[in-house]
Amino acid sequence: MKLLRFGPKGHERPGMLDSAGRIRDLSAEVGDIDGRTLETELPRLRALSPCALPLVDSAVRIGPAVAQVGKIVCVGLNYADHAHETGQAVPAEPILFLKATSSIVGPFDDIILPPGSQKGDWEVELGVVIGRPASYVSNEDALDHVAGVCVINDVSERSYQLERGGQWDKGKGCDTFCPLGPWLVTLDEACDLGSLDLWCKVDGQTMQHGNTRTMIFDVAHLVHYTSQFMSLQPGDVISTGTPPGVGMSMKPPRWLRENDIVELGIAGLGEQRQRVVRYRGSDQAST
């Protein structure tokens, strides 16, 4: 299944894509695409006939694919070729950090560069959405706790991340820095997670083109590993790292500028498109 959320910000409704790629309204079936739905309702939703559900106008806004995310766990330097381009050693264990859930926006919403931003950057990533509680799970059982996967843009402000002391979180958690979606693709429909093409363009120029086969730690291992340090709950998201081609590693570096258009996607999981704007007021992210 391809599950999604549609409608105005803060008032999204649950939906499903039919075989023709049209949005169908799930509001009569579930309250939202959230942790509870992912833990308890997926078998029932799979049994539905999408064509029997109300059709939604194709011009509707697409919201974040998952509601009420409890936490976003990110993995740093998880592609061997990305570690190489940054001049850093391949990590012996996954590098974990947290990204604020307040950074989540829809896949076609604007990216808002925060005040003082000088080094905005892009990172196309495979997102893994938890469907069952996971605590100290084995590598062999890890995928049993996954509801599905999605596209994430792990937007970063590198000057905050690397030049202002402390951990990476400062440059990762700004409002709008986590476009998520357009869909949550359940594992029964997702292709081989170990061989997915990822790509990202900025103003039409291809910046990233990679494949999950160059991941250092695969999806199952990341779920297993993360669960040794914190419990994972339904609706939590693991953002699994980015392939090479980020702006920071270019010579000279290429940073996001106002009015840039960022496009990215993963084979079988959909595409995103964002316009880059600068912060102009406290209500900007909610409009």
* Contact of 100 with 218, CB cutoff 8 Å: no
CATH of the domain at 243: 3.90.850.10
First-to-final CA distance of the chain = 30
CB atoms < 10 A from the CB of 165, how many?
Answer: 7
CA distances from 282 to 22, 24, 144 (A): 35, 34, 41
Residue 185 has which token pair? 């693709």
Report yes or no on 155 lying in a domain.
yes
Report yes or no on 152 lying in a domain.
yes
Closest CA to 127 of 100, 102, 146: 146
Residue 233 lies in domain:
67-286
Total domains present in the chain: 1
Report yes or no on 118 lying in a domain.
yes
At residue 60, the pLDDT reads: 98
Residue 258 has which token pair? 């106002």
Report yes or no on 51 lying in a domain.
no
Block mean pLDDT (10 aa), the chain, length 287: 98 97 98 98 97 97 98 95 80 96 98 95 98 98 98 96 83 96 95 95 98 97 98 98 95 97 98 96 64
Report yes or no on 40 lying in a domain.
no
The predicted model scores a pTM of 0.96
Helix (H, G, I), strand (E, B) or coil at 181: coil
